[in-house]
Amino acid sequence: MAKLKLTDEWWTAPAQADDGRLVMVTGRRDMDAAMAAGVYNTRIEITWRYQGDSAGMPPDATARLMEQVTDAMAAEFRRDPMAILTGIYTGADERNWVLYVRSLHIFQRKLNEILEPFEQLPLEFYAEADPEWSEYQEMRETEIPDEDSPV
């Protein structure tokens, strides 16, 4: 398979958690080629629960560490696109990263390597077959297109 050309264009929009609190949704644009490739059929959700402020947002130190983890994942998956980070949800006392992967086994090994420099993190994992990218499609509905956006 030819190497996919993935953009690194993102959007951010507010959404509401089930309990009514604010959740900031950050989604990746232009995933049509990755969806059409038919090899990223498993969705992984990584959840980091934290004690947030009154609005459910993470404390500054936790937010900085979360961004370091995000940057480490993004850098590795840019180099080796065995997983694609498609969405990040932050609010209501948790951060959720959503990725689509080719292989759970390879992803697990690669993620352990990515996280090795960090102290043990309070992460929870969920995996589900999602060949239609239904979570991504649903997330895209929260995007608020700006006037310059091709969406």
CATH number at residue 60: 3.30.70
Q: What is the pLDDT of residues 30-40, one digit of tens each?
A: 999 999 999 99
Q: What is the DSSP letter of 57?
A: P
2: confidence class by pLDDT, cuts 50, 70, 90 = low
Number of domains in the chain: 1
Structural domain contains residue 39: yes
**86 lies in a domain?**
yes
Tell me the pLDDT band of 146, cut-offs 50, 70 and 90. Answer: low
d(CA 71, CA 116): 14
Using CA atoms, how far apart are residues 75 and 70, in angstroms rounded to an integer? 9
Residue 3, in any domain of the structure:
no
What is the token pair recorded at 133? 């990218």
In a domain, 101, yes or no: yes
Does some domain include residue 150?
A: no
Q: Using one digit for the tens of pLDDT, what is the confidence trace for 11-23?
A: 999 999 999 999 9
Can you give the residue range of the structural domain that contains 15?
10-140
